[in-house]
Structure 1
Amino acid sequence: MPVIWRGGDVIVVDKPSGMASEPGKGQRDNTMMNALFAEFGNLLQNMGEKRDFGLLHRLDRETSGLLIVALRARAYDALRRQFEERSVVKRYWAIVSGRPPKAQGVIRKPIAEVVDEKKQKKAVISGAGKPSATAYRVLSSRGGASLVECRIGSGRLHQIRVHMAAVGCPVLGDGFYAPPEIKRMAARLALHAHLLAFVEPESGERVVVGSPFPADLRPALVGRRMPVPGEGSGARGTAQGGGSGNQRAEPDVGWSEQNDDESGDPGAA
């Protein structure tokens, strides 16, 4: 399991697509947390179930990218407060069908969880759901698809996926919210959590950690002659701030928006 940054009692992990974040119904082994227990078992076990064994937030099985894990209770509690205060920055790249209605905007639609006929949890847009907001900006569009960058404060179940589908731009490779022809347009779900920014509890230093664009999603852009983030001029570094890991140029965190109706729920995107 690639730990790409460590500072004090905090690590940032780059989870691959196809791996569950933690054990759950139907899968007890071969999860990200299983892999981390092999290396940090004593520390994580001491955190206990009350603190989710250090896991601060989650990603869907098919979503790749960055996750924060605390190794001691004090660090976990401090980071949990940051999530609740919505001060943790989470950025995603998504390749979607078509082009969103605006070059930049915020999708504000309440999300509820339901169980479908196959007894799988699914997200739906519903007035009975929780307030949810996904900010996005279009980075490029070509060949019937767009690369968008999304930012969320909350993490409702499948939030980015259901919000982009709701505006007519489902994520390529999505077997839940996209029709079959769009599911087949990428090798897997074209969603990657590429940037995290937070304050490291021990040092008080702001940390920005970035993950490169996934190789298995690259053909979906190159085949449409769309630029791949981080390639060519302006390639971005992977981490900035105290701790171990590559210390290069800070990824761009200048883009900002207000998601005033969000909570700090740590669910999966």
Structure 2
Amino acid sequence: MNSLSKESVTWMEIDAESAGQRIDNFLFRHLKGVPKSHVYRILRGEVRVNKKRIDQTYRLQAGDVLRIPPIRVAERPEAEYIPASEFPILFEDDALLAVDKPAGTAVHGGSGVSFGVIEQLRHARPQAKFLELVHRLDRETSGVLLVAKKRSALTAMHEIMREGNSDKRYLALVLGQWQNARQHVKLPLHKFDTPQGEKRVMVREDGQQAHTIFNLQKNWPGFSLLEAELKTGRTHQIRVHLSHLGFPIAGDSKYGDFARNKELMKQGLKRMFLHAHSISFNHPLTQEALRIVAPLAPELQKFLDRLDQNA
């Protein structure tokens, strides 16, 4: 069998552009074709930074000397074709790219998905030296997705988000009559795997702190349109908070009302009604105040128009 091999130890000095990156993510990019399980195996025993052992969470610093052991793994079959694809651009400069992600498209490959937005963008822009996701959106969610075009922009954006200096707003159509004009929801969230191996989230006292603010936009009989402000960025946060309160998102296949979802499909709503509407922050390099907005996806706007007509 052919093999992908690096028969000798590799030594690398980390430059400024790679500084701040987690060691596991750095190795995934550097060792293309090597299974993640193998990367984690060598991380546990044979990788060294400045002649010392480190764990997978270590963030590289400029000037670090990295030792990568000899690697020999079976050659992977030819990779599945990844189409080069651009997406509607909401904002772009030398440091950042904001695209309008369609529903049904993963942001990256993995978990049974061979490619996502970031892989398609890299194929569409082979000249780009650096393209990395700043944050993530659920596969079923549409709207604003930020991509960094420089390592410095990526690390600065992560700090902006970690410090709570960005403002993310989503639009969600829920089942039921929401009453409060503005409501703070602080319910801790716990991640777990189902017996089938799927990732799920539930409200649990020992979970991670999670805070969402919901602003009522409009009511219809049996439906409410909410704007959600994310104060923390937990997995499935908006979906689980709303479901727990008895207001599941229309069309949500994980946490929603499955019988109602079937009815909604017949009425024209064939996806989850959750849209990343806007994000505001100061530009990480220029400090210019930015607000990037993605218009409501046409299929969602069409469903709201139908609700208006039937009201």
Q: Contact (CA 8 Å) 1:101, 1:167: kept in 2 or not?
A: no
The answer (yes or no) to whether the contact 2:153–2:284 under 8 Å persists in 1 is: yes
Name the counterpart of 2:306: 223
Q: Which amino acid aligns with 1:7?
A: D
Contact 1:111/1:124 (8 A) holds in 2 = yes
Q: Structure 2 CA distance, aligned partners of 1:177 and 1:25? A: 19
Name the amino acid aligned to 2:232: S
**Counterparts of 1:142 and 1:11, CA distance in 2:** 36
Which runs of no fewer than 5 residues in structure 1 stay unpaired? 47-52, 228-269
Deviation at 1:131, TM superposition (A): 0.3
Structure 1 residue aligned with 2:45: none
Pairing 1:97–2:175 present: yes
Match of 1:203 in 2: 286
Tell me, in whole angstroms, the C-alpha distance in 2 between the residues paired with 1:220 and 1:198: 31
**Does the 8 Å CA contact 2:215/2:228 hold for their aligned counterparts?**
yes
Q: Is the 8 A contact 2:169 2:227 kept in 1?
A: yes
Residues 1:36 and 2:121 are matched in the alignment: yes
Tell me the distance in 2 between the aligned counterparts of 1:219 and 1:118: 35
Name the amino acid aligned to 2:153.
A
Which residue of the partner structure matches residue 259 of structure 1? none
> TM-score, normalised on structure 1?
0.77
The Cα offsets for residues 183-219 of structure 1, whole Å up to 9 and x where unpaired, read as: 2323200000010111212322011111111111123
Residue aligning to 2:274: 191
Q: Give 1:226 deviation, angstroms.
A: 7.4
Q: Distance in 2 between matches of 1:100 and 1:128?
A: 27
What is the aligned partner in structure 1 of residue 88 from structure 2?
2
Q: Aligned equivalents of 1:226 and 1:106: distance in 2? A: 31
1:100–1:167 contact (8 Å) kept in structure 2? no
- Deviation per CA, 1:70-100: give whole Å up to 9, x if none: 1111111111110111111100000000123
Structure 2: unaligned runs, 5 residues or longer: 1-86
Alpha-carbon distance in structure 1 between the residues aligned to 2:309 and 2:169:
20
The change in CA–CA distance for 1:41 and 1:109 in structure 2 (over 3 A counts) is: farther
Q: Which has the higher relative contact order, 1 or 2, with Cα contacts under 8 A spaced 6 or more apart?
A: 1
Contact 2:177–2:221 (CA under 8 A) maintained in structure 1: no
- CA distance 1:54–1:153, shift in 2 (3 Å): farther
* In structure 1, distance between residues paired with 2:90 and 2:306: 29
* Partner Cα distance (1:169, 1:75) in 2: 37
- 1:222 is displaced (CA, Å) by 1.7
* Structure 1: 4+ residue segments shifted above 6 A: none
State the partner residue of 2:146. 68
User: What is the number of residues matched between the two proteins?
Assistant: 219
CA distance in 2, matches of 1:143, 1:98: 8
Shift of 1:42: 5.0
**Paired position in structure 2 for 1:19:** 105
Matched, 1:107 2:190: no
Structure 1 residue 56 and structure 2 residue 134: aligned?
yes
For 1:129 and 1:201, how far apart are their aligned partners in 2? 31
Tell me how far apart the structure 2 counterparts of residues 71 and 179 of structure 1 sit (CA, whole Å): 40
Other structure's SS at 2:124 match: helix
How far has the Cα of 1:179 moved from its partner?
A: 1.9
2:250 is matched with: 172
The Cα shift of 1:140 comes to 0.4
Inter-partner Cα distance in structure 1 for 2:187 and 2:221: 28
Matching residue of 1:240? none
1:114-157 CA-to-partner distances (Å, cap 9, x unmatched) read 11132110110011210001101110001200110001032211
> d(CA) in 2 for partners of 1:117 and 1:41?
40
Report if aligned partners of 2:166, 2:280 keep a CA contact under 8 Å in 1: yes
Answer whether contact 1:8 1:202 (CA < 8 A) is retained.
no
Question: How many percent identity over aligned positions?
Answer: 30
Asked if the contact 1:89/1:198 (under 8 Å) is kept, the reply is yes
Q: When the two structures are superposed, what TM-score results if normalisation uses the length of structure 2?
A: 0.67
Partner Cα distance (1:145, 1:106) in 2: 20
2:205 is equivalent to residue 120 of structure 1: no
